[in-house]
Amino acid sequence: MDIDTRAFSIPVRRSVELRFIQSEEAGALYALVDKNRAYLEKWLPWVPEQKGQADSLENIRKRIERAQAGEMLDLGIYRDGELIGSIGFSRIVREHKKASIGYWISEELQGKGIMTDCVHALVTYGFKELHLHRIRIQCSVNNKKSAAIPERLGFIFEGTAREDELLGDHFESSKVYGILEHEWKSGNRK
């Protein structure tokens, strides 16, 4: 995928946009993850691996490399220019026109509709610009706030993937949601 990772931006709402996190922002990314570590570790298996700014820098490098290869589109969420979270297509399967979305936001900014608006913007981009047919969201059965987002946006609950993610010392089951392009375009959603 030919993408200018410095200029790319998806507007979400006034003062909120999605764009690539740059290597010079590794310190800000690490600080955000570290500040939210106790909360994020409950839901995301990669958090314990983030032990310093060097890990965040490597994470950013891999995100950009995989975006250039067309395998993912992992973006920072910025409010008034400040990094507040991350969202993206963590896995794009071009030959099947499908992708999976992952997301997280700083704990103190939950409940303000920011993430719902970000997911809406990313899904719209995926169907319009990437010509996807299907988008999936998977989250822990115990993460009610995360599950509320696809439900609010009209994704269909497709089932439970039992004990499919190792989080720390235990396996966690996940809720799986999906939406098809024609469902999104027709407004056939909640």
Domains in the chain: boundaries: 10-186
How much is the average pLDDT of 101-130? 96
pLDDT digits (tens, 9 = 90+) for 25-47: 999 999 999 999 999 988 888 88
How much is the average pLDDT of 67-85? 95
- Which option is the CATH number for 10-186: 3.40.50.720, 3.40.50.300, 3.90.1580.10, 3.40.630.30? 3.40.630.30
Confidence of residue 190 (pLDDT cuts 50, 70, 90): very low
Tokens of 166: 């190792």
Confidence of residue 188 (pLDDT cuts 50, 70, 90): low
How much is the average pLDDT of 79-108? 96
| pLDDT > 90: percent of the chain | 83
pLDDT at 187: 75
- Greater confidence (190 vs 41) lies with 41
Rounded CA separation 67/55 (Å) = 18
How much is the average pLDDT of 2-18? 93
Share the mean pLDDT of the chain. 93
pLDDT digits (tens, 9 = 90+) for 148-179: 999 999 999 999 999 998 888 899 999 999 99
8 Å CB contact between 88 and 73:
yes
Is the pLDDT confidence value at 129 over 80? yes
Is the pLDDT confidence value at 185 over 60? yes
| pLDDT > 70: percent of the chain | 98
Secondary structure, 3-state, the chain: CCCCCCCCCEEEECCEEEECCCHHHHHHHHHHHHHCHHHHCCCCCCHHHCCCHHHHHHHHHHHHHHHHCCCCEEEEEEECCEEEEEEEEEEEEHHHCEEEEEEEECHHHCCCCHHHHHHHHHHHHHHHCCCCCEEEEEEECCCHHHHHHHHHCCCEEEEEEEEEEEECCEEEEEEEEEEEHHHHHHCCCC
How much is the average pLDDT of 181-187? 89
